[in-house]
Structure 1
Amino acid sequence: MEVREAREVLKLYFGYDQFRPGQEDIIANVLAKKDTVVLMPTGGGKSICYQVPGLVMPGLSVVVSPLIALMKDQVEALLGNGVNAGYLNSSQSTKEQQLIEQQCFDGRLKMLYVSPEKLLSAGFFSFLKRLQINLFAIDEAHCISAWGHDFRPEYLQLKNLKLQFPEVPVIALTATADKLTQRDILTQLYLQNPKVFSSSFDRPNIYLQVQPGQKRMEAILDFIEERPFQPGIIYCLSRKATETLATKLKEKGYNADYYHAGLSAKDRDRVQERFLQDNVQIMCATIAFGMGIDKSNVRWVIHYNLPKNLESYYQEIGRGGRDGAAAEALLFHSLADVMTLRDIITQGENSKEQALSLAKLDRMQQYAESTSCRRKTLMHYFGEEYPGNCGSCDICDNPPTSFNGTELAQKILSAVARTKETVASAQVVDILRGSRNQQSLSRGYDKLKTFGAGRDVPAQEWQRYIHQLINRGFLEVAYDEHGALKLNNASEEVLFKGRTVELVKFQAIDLKEEKERRSKGKSRSVGAVALFDHLRQLRKDLATERNIAPYLVFNDNTLQEIAELKPTNKLAFLAISGVAQAKYEQYGEIFINSILSFLSQQATQQQAKIKGTTHLVTYEMLRQGLSPEEISVNRQVQLATIYSHLATLYQQGYDVDLRPYLSEWEYERVKEAILKTGQTAAMKPIFDTLDGQIDYLKIRLSIGRYNKESATV
């Protein structure tokens, strides 16, 4: 009976027809009032495991959550689904807290989120004992363990829940827990014969890829150019790196900001809120950012530097694709990162912690340098066997080819020997490539027999081959000698005893071709893509009006299904996965009207294209008050095309005001360059004459204005 009610609650409040794998068994165990431990990856649906039984059982559920931002998001999501929920934490005034407490007494709340500090404050247990508590849920339960990477001392006191409320079931949930942490969760919470549910830690919707650390900025720009409007996070090792990277991205025209622990609490909250509200597309951040981020529509996560361990890496990439839609994880890897991390570990930890941390760093490095399926490597680390290959990582898509690399290995080892084992990998590559830099010349490396012996092999490939030799035991790295490469017995066998070495060769991936290849079989129609972006803007506008995050209106998965199926009546809209009754009542009619309007507009645009007057469609949208950026999104064309339309419209005499997009000073500068170069067609000579100080969009507008004024004269 209760399980059937659980399914009804799932549909009524969350809009889903069926549970994800494992959820129903967990919920049945909680409904049987048994203690429960849930190990489930980020985005796997942990919250449903306590929210649904909490709504089925009479009384109030209490959820312990470590971060204010996280509980605020959860409560807003529940309220949006028609569930009476509230939270208590230090961000509220005494009056606000008293109001929530009164709602608990009145039986109006079904779910109460509290911080561990609030739960353990004086008199709070007495308050709870006056209520009908049906469940305690402890989120981020790994915080209870000193072995966990987010240890919170106050979590150790949560054992008092079982002592004070022995009859109330407890469910502890975590997305990351090694065996030591799992043991702590079981013992330190005083759970009574708990049943442990361990879901697969695989996140099949996340595409995994690793690239060498050289030319990172160039690679990042290529990556995000192919993913317009998609929210993403770039994790950096240092605070300064987040600021520098955000500045560079802004200079390139991207909507980016940075977040690190050095910012004031007010600034951190402001930046985080802007990202949640989709007012910032790209967040450059240290690992201080993320634990409380429940943003479901992060479409990609980039690691600018190698993380310290696979646990951190897996949790951080798990912030992408929480809605179940496709997401990507790109990791940059270099030996310099490894050396930096080793320095940090050896300088800041005791000997026992050092040994464990260095071992974990080695596993992280092995993952980055893997030549077999990355998902299989990752799952194996978490104790999970993965049959076959995943088909959704760079290695599966671009399998490296093995070849006899003995000659290449001998060149590398010979360069190491001839420099008396005193140089790091980057200098070895310079020697092999014949780079006549200052260090090579000042130390006489240009006189070595191996100098320039590998000019025909790209530097990036030499780095890969060196990494392979290190991984396979043919070279050692002396981290205490600035990463100097050292020979060993295996090296001697290759150099002098005829031992062969198998290496693997990676083919460079064309990002555009790769994106097209991976999208086959799951691609959406052009119309659905355009409608999705149209509805995404509507979602953002509605969220701004209500001061909530856009994904709390509908997540990307639900929005994509709406764009594909185009529901135009109540029954069709309620059939969309993720649309509950309360959501339909708030947003259904608005979205249906928007879909109908969009379809009508598409028909008009199609007629315009046939007649060759596509710029007039832009003109009509300008008259409706849309900005060039909004028109670009709605029409699914580049912003440069819209600016070209503006220039054409102005030149043809339409009532178009260029002043909001082109200042008088900018026009005069471009006009001087036009007169100097004699160009009114090609923009690059003008751009170069201006030393790139004025962008192509403004140059295009200036040419349109200049042509009109010249014709008038």
Structure 2
Amino acid sequence: MKIDASEISLKEYLNKYFGFNTFKGNQEAIIRNVLAGNDTFVLMPTGGGKSLCYQLPALILDGTAIIISPLIALMKNQVDNMRSFVIDEGVAHFLNSSLNKTQIQKVKDDIMAGKTKMLYVAPESLTKEENVQFLRQAKISFYAIDEAHCISEWGHDFRPEYRRIRPIINEIGNAPIIALTATATPKVQHDIQKNLSMLEANVFKSSFNRPNLYYEVRPKRNAVKEIIKYIKNNPGKSGIIYCLSRKKVEELAEVLQVNGIKALPYHAGMDANTRSGNQDKFLMEEVDVIVATIAFGMGIDKPDVRYVIHYDIPKSLEGYYQETGRAGRDGGEGQCITFYSYKDIQKLEKFMQGKPVSEQEIGKQLLLETVSYAESSICRRKTLLNYFGEEYTEENCGSCDNCLNPKTQFDGQEELQMVLETILAVNQKFKGDHIVNILIGNVTAAIKSYKHNQLDTFGQGAEKDPMFWNSIIRQALVMKYIDKDIENYGLLMVTEKGKEYLENPHEVMFTLDERYEDGDDDDAIGLSPDKSGGGGADDELLSMLKELRKKMAKKLNLPPFVIFQDPSLEDMAIQYPVTIDELQNISGVGAGKARKFGKEFVELIKAYVEEKEIIRPQDMVVKSVASKSMLKVYIIQSIDRKLDLEDIAEAKNLEMDELLNEIEAIVNSGTKINIDYYIDRVIDEDKQDEIYDYFRNEAESESIEEAIEALDDDDITEEEIRLMRIKFMSEMGN
């Protein structure tokens, strides 16, 4: 049934059902288009009010609107919301795998009685034969396809079952379609419309710019510590942290909990009750932080998420845009912080192996866009909006790391010319990496077979590295000198503007990109303390600590290195521990040593910090979760049972050298162990005395190399010295 929208005071309905007095952006025009019975395509960023565009018409029109959504969580959330607006509970239902037979019958009864205005279904449920047969009897007002980007292979969340929606609609019965998405490049938009046979639909495209969001990319170094520090500096605020794998989600949630942060995990591998329970606790503000997988959409409508942190970078810019878009949906503060390491990109590339070639090509192109965004030094907003086919004309957005900390600029006239000439020389039939290889003079198999090593520009840019040339190409794309043929896996073409530039070259300012060295990947995330320092050691404090160590060594008649080794003192001069608890999280210290020798050290550091008014790295102690120490526990228990070290190494698939490293770490952190039973079996008594005496009376450091030189005995092996050093350190220091 079509309704003459002009006769209706939509604002009255808006106020009656939702309590609002005004529409946002394009909402009113979209709703009138749906009421008029037209196909409608809606491109609206997260937080723009997409769901109202189908909810209000569904309440006004006769019959039931079928709303197709990929997420059970989102359905539940929206049904609960609708029921809070409208008294009759039957007004909105969902039909999915979480319902039992009785619940399904109740849904069907309400639809046939005309009570249900909105039925939320997953595409999988829609394609079930019994549901198709049932819906053929119902009166359908229209179909709403939410998260429509799932239709496209170029979308960030492609789902093959979305491709079957149009045939099923044809089978159930024709009615107008409204397709909605928060993220779609021009390519994805065309894919959606083509697949749903709605190329003639009226398109409503809102700006993708979210002015209240701040974007920042940080190198992935000490990411866990940075995250804890950030959350503790923003107490009581709601946030979402995205990780790549379920395992990381579980681990990070656990490490946040042991550090006093109210956090819960959320991913597809959890049982449905736990998952929806965790979501509800987040919505009800019983917890501040949800840690979720990138691959699994949160599907929640929480307006006051104040920060979205990506521990791992997503597979595509659409994914990134949608996930960051969950921050600040109420127009308030929204901080979007991403930790980036190229290692993560390499991992994502590995995951693609084994997939069909075309899927791999698409995946690689999408990943390249993500790398470009992360490493680029131009305005983040400009890059994002350009990706979605929108031009951002401001020179400085004032709300991203690149605009707030502008990078060095240079005139790239010569470089731009070289890139444009090379693209034209290869007939605009190659991707960026091939162009870069020509410029730096890298003879790959492809360059050889196409004889591109004979081009004039071959090797012309050899003094610059690939990253530099990739940056020039990226910036030239944003400046519209070149374009990317996304249909053909990203082949580069020179635009009219680029051709004009070659006719009339002039100064063009480029910026130098950030170089993200690979930091710690936090592989031991939360499973061992994150101890690496946040910068260089404080030299003045370091020399005071060394002085104190010398004094104590004299008093206790011990070599200084037995008390604390140099790396531990350096870490103290970075972290400034002022309690015994903090001290035991310093590299190479541990609980035993902290208690035995720590008191005077923390007193000295505390006095120094107060005198110099030093602002310490807040929350520098990242408490660890015990599971990573299972190997250490196994080693200690096995030594207590007097097992041969060879047997321990074999049981844990370790080389002897690796096992000794583990035992040294145990002893250096203050745990006393006794390997006399093993030493007595493998080292002569005379040798034992000689090596022990060296460490007791002569050694100036714990260095094995110095010990080998001083002992000067071909008969004494490095392994024997290491074993005796373990015995000495354990007896004297612990």
TM, length-normalised to structure 1: 0.55
Match of 2:312 among 305, 309, 313: 305
Which amino acid in 2 is paired with 1:2? Answer: A
Residue number in structure 2 paired with 1:317: 324
Query: For residues 270-669 of structure 1, what are the structure 2 equivalents within 5 Å?
Result: 270-345=277-352, 347-388=353-394, 389-402=396-409, 471-472=471-472
- How far off is 1:337 after superposition? 2.6
Q: Retained in 2: the 8 A contact 1:301–1:329?
A: yes
DSSP 3-state at the match of 2:305: coil
Residue number in structure 1 paired with 2:202: 195
DSSP 3-state at the match of 1:280: coil
Residue number in structure 1 paired with 2:60: 56
Q: Retained in 2: the 8 A contact 1:369–1:467?
A: no
**CA RMSD of the aligned region, Å?**
4.0
Deviations 1:557-592 (A, max 9, x none): xxxxxxxxxxxxxxxxxxxxxxxxxxxxxxxxxxxx
Q: Retained in 1: the 8 A contact 2:267–2:296?
A: yes
CA pair 692-38 structure 1, distance change in 2 beyond 3 A:
closer
Match of 1:75 among 76, 79, 95: 79
Residue number in structure 1 paired with 2:117: 110
Distance 1:158 1:56 in 2: 25
Deviations 1:518-556 (A, max 9, x none): xxxxxxxxxxxxxxxxxxxxxxxxxxxxxxxxxxxxxxx
Q: Which stretch shows the higher mean deviation, 90-99 or 126-135?
A: 126-135
Distance 1:157 1:506 in 2: 44
Q: Does 1:15 align with 2:41?
A: no
Which amino acid in 2 is paired with 1:121? Answer: K
- How far off is 1:470 after superposition? 6.5
Residue number in structure 2 paired with 1:2: 5
CA pair 252-59 structure 1, distance change in 2 beyond 3 A:
same
Which amino acid in 1 is paired with 2:359? Answer: E
DSSP 3-state at the match of 1:359: helix
DSSP 3-state at the match of 1:181: helix
CA pair 348-282 structure 1, distance change in 2 beyond 3 A:
farther
Percent sequence identity is 46
Q: Which stretch shows the higher mean deviation, 149-158 or 45-54?
A: 149-158
Q: Retained in 1: the 8 A contact 2:38–2:201?
A: yes
Deviations 1:53-105 (A, max 9, x none): 12222332221222221111101111111263222222122112222222222
Distance 1:692 1:398 in 2: 29
Match of 2:97 among 75, 85, 90: 90
Higher Rg of the two aligned structures:
2
Q: Retained in 2: the 8 A contact 1:206–1:320?
A: yes
Distance 1:349 1:358 in 2: 12
Match of 1:157 among 151, 159, 164: 164
- How far off is 1:285 after superposition? 2.5
Residue number in structure 2 paired with 1:100: 107
Q: Does 1:41 align with 2:45?
A: yes
CA pair 469-80 structure 1, distance change in 2 beyond 3 A:
same
Distance 1:93 1:242 in 2: 30
Distance 1:188 1:472 in 2: 36
Q: Retained in 2: the 8 A contact 1:398–1:506?
A: no
Which amino acid in 2 is paired with 1:386? Answer: Y
- How far off is 1:265 after superposition? 4.3
Distance 1:192 1:383 in 2: 18
CA pair 349-124 structure 1, distance change in 2 beyond 3 A:
closer
Q: Retained in 2: the 8 A contact 1:57–1:134?
A: yes
Q: Does 1:128 align with 2:135?
A: yes
- How far off is 1:326 after superposition? 2.3
Distance 2:259 2:408 in 1: 37
Residue number in structure 1 paired with 2:426: none
Q: Retained in 2: the 8 A contact 1:401–1:506?
A: no
Deviations 1:321-372 (A, max 9, x none): 2333321110112233333333334x34343333332232222112112222
Query: For residues 202-213 of structure 1, what are the structure 2 equivalents within 5 Å?
Result: 202-213=209-220
Distance 1:472 1:180 in 2: 24
CA pair 285-468 structure 1, distance change in 2 beyond 3 A:
farther
Which amino acid in 2 is paired with 1:328? Answer: Q
Deviations 1:89-148 (A, max 9, x none): 221221122222222222222222222233332343443344332222111222233333
DSSP 3-state at the match of 1:58: coil
CA pair 296-372 structure 1, distance change in 2 beyond 3 A:
same
Which amino acid in 2 is paired with 1:75? Answer: V
Distance 1:278 1:133 in 2: 37
- How far off is 1:158 after superposition? 1.9
CA pair 403-104 structure 1, distance change in 2 beyond 3 A:
closer
Distance 1:160 1:252 in 2: 52
Q: Retained in 1: the 8 A contact 2:144–2:179?
A: yes
DSSP 3-state at the match of 1:46: coil
- How far off is 1:263 after superposition? 3.6
Q: Which stretch shows the higher mean deviation, 164-173 or 195-204?
A: 164-173
- How far off is 1:162 after superposition? 4.4
Which amino acid in 1 is paired with 2:471? Answer: N
Q: Which stretch shows the higher mean deviation, 53-62 or 178-187?
A: 178-187
Distance 1:192 1:387 in 2: 30
- How far off is 1:291 after superposition? 4.5
Which amino acid in 1 is paired with 2:285? Answer: D
- How far off is 1:183 after superposition? 2.8
- How far off is 1:48 after superposition? 0.9
Distance 2:177 2:257 in 1: 47
Q: Retained in 2: the 8 A contact 1:64–1:136?
A: yes
Q: Does 1:235 align with 2:245?
A: no
Q: Retained in 2: the 8 A contact 1:5–1:56?
A: no
Distance 2:514 2:23 in 1: 41
Which amino acid in 2 is paired with 1:398? Answer: N
Residue number in structure 1 paired with 2:617: none
Structure 2 gap segments, 5+ residues each: 413-464, 475-508, 516-594, 611-619, 624-734
Residue number in structure 1 paired with 2:589: none
Distance 1:693 1:168 in 2: 57
CA pair 324-504 structure 1, distance change in 2 beyond 3 A:
same
DSSP 3-state at the match of 1:299: strand
Which amino acid in 2 is paired with 1:272? Answer: Q
Which amino acid in 2 is paired with 1:96? Answer: Q
Q: Retained in 2: the 8 A contact 1:26–1:49?
A: yes
Which amino acid in 1 is paired with 2:384? Answer: L
- How far off is 1:502 after superposition? 8.4
Deviations 1:211-265 (A, max 9, x none): 1222323322332222111111111223333233223322321112223444444
Match of 1:257 among 264, 285, 299: 264
Q: Retained in 2: the 8 A contact 1:399–1:506?
A: no
